[in-house]
Amino acid sequence: MIKPDIPLSDDEVRQIGRIITALDASTFDYLQLELGALKLTIGKGGLLPPALPAAPTAVAAPSVAPIAAATPAASDHALPEDGTVAIVAPMIGHFYSQPEPGAAAYVGVGSEVTAESTVGLVESMKMFNAVHAGVNGVITRICVEDAALVEYGQTLFHVRPHPSA
């Protein structure tokens, strides 16, 4: 709950609105966020759990380095049934398959990628973050549509890794 003595700017109110929209489109039931003196808890419909766990004491502003560090390793998402590896969303946001509207997609089924290849972008709060393949191989499946809202850890692509040389 927001205390009345903490004034919010119009931009902060808009950002909270975007967070609410993202929560509504996600599979999460509630979100608890603490940024300095601002403590925000929002939920979908029903009652929130009686005792939410404490919010993180440190919250980093979005940037490429922390997001890359938080991205699960591609090897953690191996799919043994077909030998592919999942490329997952590094954060919640909108996924874009091309660098700008009307441009060609970064990759398609059959595209060769290296670990450093950009396969798409995830936009959150007007910040675009590159999604890298994380593995050398061939794209075998695209799991999300362009401009779709994705959640942290959601599978975006499947890649058949090249055999180790």
Q: What is the 3-state secondary structure (H, E, C) of 75-110?
A: HHHEECCCCEEEEECCCCEEEECCCCCCCCCCCCCC
What is residue 39's predicted lDDT score, i.e. its pLDDT? 72
Domain with CATH 2.40.50.100 in the chain: 64-161
The helices-and-strands tally (H runs, E runs) of the chain is 2, 11
In 3D space, the residue among 75, 93, 88 whose CA is nearest the CA of residue 129 turns out to be: 93
Render each residue's pLDDT in the chain as its tens digit; 165 residues: 444 566 777 777 777 777 777 777 777 766 777 766 667 777 766 555 554 444 443 333 333 333 332 334 433 444 445 889 999 999 999 999 999 999 999 999 999 999 999 999 999 888 999 999 999 999 999 999 999 999 999 999 999 999 864
Provide the phi-psi class of 125: left if phi over 0, else alpha when psi is between -120 and 50, else beta. Answer: left
* CATH number of the domain located at residue range(s) 64-161 in this protein: 2.40.50.100
- The pTM assigned to this predicted structure is 0.54
What is residue 47's predicted lDDT score, i.e. its pLDDT? 53
80 touches 106 (CB < 8 A): no
Query: What is the three-class DSSP state of 58?
Result: coil
What is residue 141's predicted lDDT score, i.e. its pLDDT? 95
Number of Cβ within a 10 Å radius of residue 69: 9
What is residue 27's predicted lDDT score, i.e. its pLDDT? 73
What is residue 118's predicted lDDT score, i.e. its pLDDT? 96
In 3D space, the residue among 102, 162, 103, 100 whose CA is nearest the CA of residue 136 turns out to be: 162
What is residue 147's predicted lDDT score, i.e. its pLDDT? 93
Cα 158 from Cα 110, distance rounded (Å): 11
